[in-house]
Amino acid sequence: MQDIAQHLEDRTLILLSNREPYEHRHADGRIEIRQPPGGLVSALDPTMRATHGIWVAWGSGSADAETCNSEGRLMVPPVDPSYSLRRVFLDEGEVDGYYLGFSNAALWPLCHMLVQHFEYRDEYWDRYRAVNEKFAHAVAAEVKRAESPAVVWIQDYHFGLAAEIIRSQSSPTLIHQFWHIPFPPSDILRLLPVDVIDALLRGMLGNDLIAFQTDRYALNFLGCVAEFIPDAQSDADNFVVHYGGRSIVVGVFPISIDVEKYEHLALEPESVSRVERLRDRHARGGCQLGLSVDRVDYTKGIPERLRALTQLWERHPEMLERFTMLVVATPSRSELASYRDLEKEMMSTVREINDRFRTEKWEPIVLVHENVSAEVLAGAYRAADICLVSSLQDGMNLVAKEFLACQVDERGVLVLSRFTGAAEVIDDAILINPFNIDGFVDGIRCALEMSQDERRLRMQRMRMQLRSWTIFDWLASILSRTCDIIGARTEAPSQP
Ligand code: GDG
């Protein structure tokens, strides 16, 4: 971690993300503090501790306002505080318009090319703009306050406009942004009003470095800039945009996980007994255990997966009692109707499948519809014989990587949608197309029938590949690229 901090030299790292690293909540008459689950927070928190930076984020907890000072600041983590958290507070209308509205009802489906879920409203856009301004303003204030020159790092699609505003209000040494989800081709981005496309792309061009998970998304972004921003020069050969007298580097940095952490979780003694319990309950006598883990989100291909499973048991009755599917489906964004509908559809399809195929001693699908702990998750990843990832589109998909990290017994097969970023960086998975149900069924069968030797060989190769690129390599490579950009600029000052 110290090595990662070195990339910053003596600069102050100011991070902007929608989710905060520590949230205070009222619970049973007390105030409790918790770290929201998710790979990103757990990777960036150690980085911030090592660099003593400033993290600007939405203060979403019910007790957040009373646990910081009047400017929204507090020192975190609670034990041994080492960096500053600056909370920005949003009212209900702002959350509805900026977060649920433009971010999650417009940009999220558009970036995942699932246009049937796309919902644009002027009001959403107005809120998104205003909230981006609010956050950017807070970041600019931190840049001015910082004791050393600042490097700003923006996370994700919630802040498409922030970089340009921060640049207009302050002078950080460098601004970069990581876009965690896919970026759509221009024919899809065109669904937004013309002035919105223009503002969004110009907002993103406020960065010095804009980074994506894969070449495909980076090229889509370059293509959109070429088509919609006439005064920018988009150079797709060199992954750079020349715009407003500046050069914006377009980078590709596939995100990863803390591999050791997951491996350790899977090796804990409690995990061993969890694996035994799970296998004893659902995978007795040669029955195989399948696993899926996702937020209930229409991008994850949950109905498609259930359709493939129905077809598998329908067409291959020899698979009845030979394969149990554990579906961990974590509730998500249930304020939005499309998510609630999906949830209902999922529950009723699981019920239908179980009613149709269950036998006296076997339940085809075991649905866990709640948030489970990372420990329980690690046990399930280790216990599984196959892991099904069927996203219709997915920036990366960390579940696939977590499964590999926890497969310490090397018995499992990864069945992976070719439309995930993960499919572009993992070589030995069985790739499927979730839109082609017949092919999907073949992929599951191929996994179920794979010999132990081949499973071990593939799993060893995938685990080796994973170990060679962890979340810390991802962090180090992004920060080192920012250093290179700053260095190159100092060596060759821009022409007057
Ligand atoms: C976005 C992009 C990109 C899920 N249920 C539980 C739980 N999880 C954890 C998983 C995993 C994370 O949530 C989900 O990460 P994914 O990458 O699969 O998907 P998104 O949430 O859509 O993430 C994605 C990612 O950002 C990072 O850049 O890969 O493409 O869409 O870590 O384990 N964790 C716990 N309990 C649960 O019930 N503890």
Query: Do 477 and 439 touch, CB atoms closer than 8 A?
Result: no
- CATH label of the domain that carries residue 117: 3.40.50.2000
The answer on 209 and 265 residing in a single domain is no
The answer on 249 and 264 residing in a single domain is no
Q: Is the CB of 371 under 6 A from ligand 1?
A: yes
Distance between CA atoms of 125 and 127, rounded to whole angstroms? Answer: 5
Query: Do 200 and 179 touch, CB atoms closer than 8 A?
Result: no
Best mutation site among 293, 299, 419 for ligand 1 pocket (most ligand atoms within 8 Å of CB):
293
Q: What is the pLDDT of residue 257?
A: 92
The answer on 387 and 368 residing in a single domain is yes
Beta strands 240-243 and 246-252: pairing type?
Answer: antiparallel
Q: In sequence order, what are the beta bridge partners of 414?
A: 387
Residue given tokens 């035994």 in the structure block: 276
Q: What is the pLDDT of residue 8?
A: 83
Beta strands 413-417 and 209-212: pairing type?
Answer: unpaired
The answer on 208 and 93 residing in a single domain is yes
Best mutation site among 107, 398, 401, 420 for ligand 1 pocket (most ligand atoms within 8 Å of CB):
398
Residue 108 CB burial class (10 angstroms; 0-12, 13-18, ≥19): buried
Q: Is the CB of 395 under 6 A from ligand 1?
A: yes
- Show the tokens assigned to 489: 């600029």
Task: Give the closest residue (by CA) to ligand 1 atom 28.
Answer: 180
What's the length of the chain?
A: 496
Domain membership flag for residue 347: yes
Question: Which amino acid is residue 132, in one-letter code?
Answer: N
Domain membership flag for residue 288: yes
The SS3 of residue 258 is coil
Q: 391-400: string of b/e by CB count within 10 Å (b at 16+)?
A: bbbbbbbbbb
Task: Give the closest residue (by CA) to ligand 1 atom 12.
Answer: 38
Distance between CA atoms of 477 and 459, rounded to whole angstroms? Answer: 26
The answer on 221 and 272 residing in a single domain is no
Domain count along the chain: 2
Best mutation site among 19, 183, 295 for ligand 1 pocket (most ligand atoms within 8 Å of CB):
295
The answer on 199 and 216 residing in a single domain is yes
CA of 317 to the centre of ligand 1 (A): 33
What DSSP string describes 57-88? Answer: EE--STTSGGGS-TTSEEEESSSS--EEEEEE
Query: Do 324 and 359 touch, CB atoms closer than 8 A?
Result: no
The answer on 478 and 461 residing in a single domain is no
CA of 330 to the centre of ligand 1 (A): 10
- Rg from Cα positions in the chain: 23
Domain membership flag for residue 275: yes
CA of 419 to the centre of ligand 1 (A): 16
Q: Where are the beta strands (DSSP E) in 246-304?
A: 246-252, 288-295
Query: Do 34 and 22 touch, CB atoms closer than 8 A?
Result: yes
Which contiguous run of DSSP H or E holds residue 350? helix 337-357
Q: What is the pLDDT of residue 39?
A: 67
Task: Give the closest residue (by CA) to ligand 1 atom 36.
Answer: 372
Query: Do 470 and 345 touch, CB atoms closer than 8 A?
Result: no
CA distances from 452 to 117, 322, 404, 410, 411 (A): 42, 16, 16, 9, 7
Termini Cα distance of the chain: 39
Q: Quote the domain boundaries for residue 132.
A: 2-255+473-491
The answer on 267 and 232 residing in a single domain is no
Q: What is the pLDDT of residue 131?
A: 98
Q: In sequence order, what are the beta bridge partners of 252?
A: 212
The answer on 352 and 481 residing in a single domain is no
Q: What is the pLDDT of residue 2?
A: 55
The answer on 195 and 51 residing in a single domain is yes
The answer on 221 and 357 residing in a single domain is no
Q: Which of 371, 368, 444, 379 is nearest to 405 (CA)?
A: 379
Domain membership flag for residue 317: yes
Q: Which atom of ligand 1 is nearest to the CA of 395?
A: 30
Q: Which atom of ligand 1 is nearest to the CA of 399?
A: 18
Distance between CA atoms of 79 and 359, rounded to whole angstroms? Answer: 52
Which contiguous run of DSSP H or E holds residue 163? helix 162-169
Q: Which atom of ligand 1 is nearest to the CA of 370?
A: 38
Distance between CA atoms of 13 and 6, rounded to whole angstroms? Answer: 12
Distance between CA atoms of 107 and 127, rounded to whole angstroms? Answer: 14
pLDDT tens, per residue, the chain with 496 residues: 657 778 888 899 999 999 999 999 999 999 999 987 776 787 789 889 988 999 999 999 999 999 999 999 999 999 999 999 999 999 999 999 999 999 999 999 999 999 999 999 999 999 999 999 999 999 999 999 999 999 999 999 999 999 999 999 999 999 999 999 999 999 999 999 999 999 999 999 999 999 999 999 999 999 999 999 999 999 999 999 999 999 999 999 999 999 999 999 999 999 999 999 999 999 998 899 999 999 999 999 999 999 999 999 999 999 999 999 999 999 999 999 999 999 999 999 999 999 999 999 999 999 999 999 999 999 999 999 999 999 999 999 999 999 999 999 999 999 999 999 999 999 999 999 999 999 999 999 999 999 999 999 999 999 999 999 999 999 999 999 999 999 998 876 555 4
Distance between CA atoms of 54 and 12, rounded to whole angstroms? Answer: 8
Q: What is the pLDDT of residue 4?
A: 74
Domain membership flag for residue 496: no
Domain membership flag for residue 112: yes
Residue given tokens 């999907």 in the structure block: 440
What DSSP string describes 351-392? Answer: HHHHHHH-BTTB-SEEEE-S---HHHHHHHHHH-SEEEE--S
Contacts of 71 (CB under 8 A, 6+ apart): 86
Q: What is the pLDDT of residue 489?
A: 84
Q: Which of 114, 447, 488 is nearest to 302 (CA)?
A: 114
The answer on 277 and 164 residing in a single domain is no
